[in-house]
Structure 1
Amino acid sequence: MRQDEITEIVERAAKLVTEQYVFPDLAERIAAHLGDRLRDGRYADVTDPAALATLVTGDLQSVNGDSHLRLKHHVAALPERDEDPDEGYWAREAAATMGGIARVQRLAGNVGLLDIRPCLFPPQIAGDAMMAAMRLLGGTDALLLDLRGNRGGSPDMVALVCGWFFAEPAHLHTMYDRAGNAHQFWSAAYLPVPPYEADKPVHVLTSAQTVSGGEELAYDLQQLGRATVVGERTGGGAHPCVGHRVHPHLELTVPVLRPVNPVTGTNWEGCGVIPDVEVSAGAAQDMAYRRVLEALLAADPQRPTADEARAALATLP
């Protein structure tokens, strides 16, 4: 890469951060830091876009560790102007992944398993698939909600899924922009399926790869007292962002909003969702399954599926 090209990329990145980053005071510091690094020659020996992306991302995140603030390298060339994926793109992705419903299963002991990945698609695209999964799982006595492979998605789908777990609308978070304008998100007030009864245990499975919208779903259910989170601390990306093409193979992503949870007064940015039961991602399902089987048997040792549950417990590590 030519030095004048690198200078143009870094200076444009600093300008976009200054103009758009959700925290204006931090935006000034981050932009100034980029300028200092450019003048100090940090990027002088960069020869390819991927290497520049790594260096600039490190400098962007060095002030406050915002994982959504980054310079991303793309192997394929980006469109010549900033474009958000259209509904057709999401529809194609949803069609190829069953609307994000990776697995719906009844485990022994009448425990349901719902695996949502790779992401939470918008309700207008994948709402029917989600409703079908909920309808199938409605008769289970406990649920494992697997988000270990979930990389984010639509806050409206998060609100829809949360609507299944609450009899009344619940305030999930308030989204603020850099000017302080606020927009509240509530769980869906109505779904065309019966709610998942409040006395049925729900365990959410997480991994370090669970990010963004997947983290929000886990965080919302945990903080509102509806679910136990089992697994690994999540990735820690809470701030929705917009992307800007600053080079044919480089995209600057700038967080422009921040959610505030009504219970904690904050969010999971940087720290991730902290599990109630911390185990490796690979062990999370067995751990959660054991916990719900033991809880079900303790509540009613003579339940119709008790023998099935005891047999399943005997196989778990």
Structure 2
Amino acid sequence: MQNPEMTGLVDRLRTLIEDRYVFPDAAAEISARLAARRDGYPTDPAALAAAVTADLQAVNGDKHLRLLHHAEPQPEQAPGDDAAEYAAMAQWAERTCGGIAGARRLPGDVGLLEITPVLFPAVLVGDVYAAAFTLLAPVQALIVDLRGCLGGEPSAVGLFMSYLWDHEPVQLTGMFERATGQVRQSWTHAHVPGRRFGRDRPLYVLTSGATFSGGEALAYDVQQTGRGTVVGEQTRGGAHPREGFRLHPHLEATISVARAVNPVSGTNWESVGVTPAVPVPATDALSTAYRAALEQVRDQDGPSSAEARAALDAGAPL
């Protein structure tokens, strides 16, 4: 690579990795790898992004560690100024109903809540979650579909889990931050607006090979707290929160600045993904969970039992 602009970009990226990446030893190895190849990278921004990303992930497979190519030029951003990113995220949330793709009651008194494309920051979607859970709070079993959830923000995971729990808080996955050298704890909320589904009724969470990052965090917390059953496929395996850094109008570095730490397992789902308790192809996850939920509702001594039995006799149509 003979382009001084691109050579300088790689050098700036190396400095960011050394200063910010959550694993200092790996950061040194990654930086050395980039330095060894800096003069051989392509000069085309898209090709450069692909080549550098491959090297960034070659050391430890961190899927959050990337050089992203943007087809449209990205605006410059002053250090510490998150206003532009927040505005873009708010617009995205507005266009996608806050990530709630669907909230409906299925025959047999089973609720279905579909989350895609991401779990948006809680400050943006608190009212949407309150509305969705108020709607579904009366159902006797709940299915949360994370098969199309490609990421999310820790505050949203904590808020979402709060609707699946009761008023007494439980500790969730926290984040060890390199900058502070401490774990930032996460707990469910003692109070939430609207109605909770609570912690006692049956809960199923659906995953796929595309479920990533914040979606995995929610599935993992459900699993580690014993709150519900994960059904579907092994998830992608990205547990490191990241920050974005603009290095070029079309190139953004994303660097993991923390690592997830669960208080129960003492670790996280990085590289390995979340392992479902009921492993089935993603295409079969909903029908599998729905049938299991109906069987539980049917076996309860309540007004929904007969309806659940009828749904099972009808083949549990969706």
Deviates more, 1:114-123 or 1:79-88: 79-88
SS of equivalent residue, structure 1 residue 251? strand
Shift of 1:299: 4.2
Residue 231 of structure 2 is aligned to residue 230 of structure 1 = yes
Deviation, 1:133, is 0.8
Match of 1:309 in 2: 311
Q: What is the CA distance between 1:47 and its match in structure 2?
A: 4.4
Deviations for 1:236-293, whole angstroms, at most 9, x for unmatched residues? Answer: 1111111112222111111111120011111111111111112222221111111111
Report which stretch shifted further, 301-310 or 138-147. Answer: 301-310
Flag the 1:289–1:306 CA change in 2: closer, same or farther, 3 A. Answer: closer
CA distance in 2, matches of 1:286, 1:308: 16
For 2:157 and 2:263, locate their aligned partners in 1 and report how far apart those are by CA, in whole Å: 16
CA contact (8 A) 1:80 1:245 kept: yes
Which of 74, 78, 86 is residue 78 of structure 1 equivalent to? 74
Once residues 93 and 295 of structure 1 are traced to their aligned partners in structure 2, the CA distance between those partners, rounded to angstroms, is: 37
SS of the counterpart of 2:15?
A: helix
Alignment RMSD, CA only?
2.0
Taking structure 1 as reference, are residues 48 and 309 closer, same or farther at Cα in structure 2, changes over 3 Å only? same
Name the counterpart of 2:245: 244
Per-residue CA distance 1:189-236 (angstroms, 9 max, x = gap): 112334324331111111222111111111111111011111121121
Instruction: Give 2:129's aligned residue.
Output: 130
TM-score (ref. length: structure 1): 0.91
Match of 2:212 in 1: 211
| Correspondence 1:172-183 to 2 at 5 A | 172-178=172-178, 179-183=180-184
- TM-score normalised to structure 2 length: 0.91
One-letter amino acid of the structure 2 residue matched with residue 65 of structure 1: G
Equivalent position to 2:49, from 47, 50, 53? 53
> Is the Cα–Cα contact under 8 Å of residues 204 and 230 in structure 1 kept in the other structure?
yes
1:150 partnered with 2:146: no
Task: Say if 1:163 and 1:137 are closer, same or farther in 2 by CA, change over 3 A.
Answer: same
Q: Verify: 1:115 aligned to 2:117, yes or no.
A: no
Map residues 234-273 of structure 1 onto 2, 5 A cutoff.
234-273=235-274
* 2:276 corresponds to: 275
Alpha-carbon spacing, 1:245–1:314, altered in 2? closer, same or farther (3 Å): closer
Gaps of 5+ in 1: none
Cα distance in 1 for partners of 2:6, 2:193 equals: 53
In the alignment, which residue of structure 2 is the partner of 1:16?
Answer: 16
Partner of 1:171: 171
User: Measured at CA, do residues 287 and 213 of structure 1 come closer, stay the same or move farther in structure 2, by a change above 3 Å?
Assistant: same
Q: Give the secondary structure class of the aligned counterpart of 1:172.
A: strand
Secondary structure of 1:313 counterpart: coil
State the distance in 1 between where 2:160 and 2:140 align: 18
Identity across the alignment (%): 50
| 2: CA distance, partners of 1:37 / 1:298 | 63
The DSSP-based 3-state class of the residue aligned with 2:220 is helix
Specify the alignment match of 2:200 in structure 1: 199
Check 1:13–1:87 CA distance in 2 against 1; reply closer, same or farther (3 A cut).
closer
**8 A contact 2:211–2:236 mirrored in 1:** yes
Matched residue count:
312
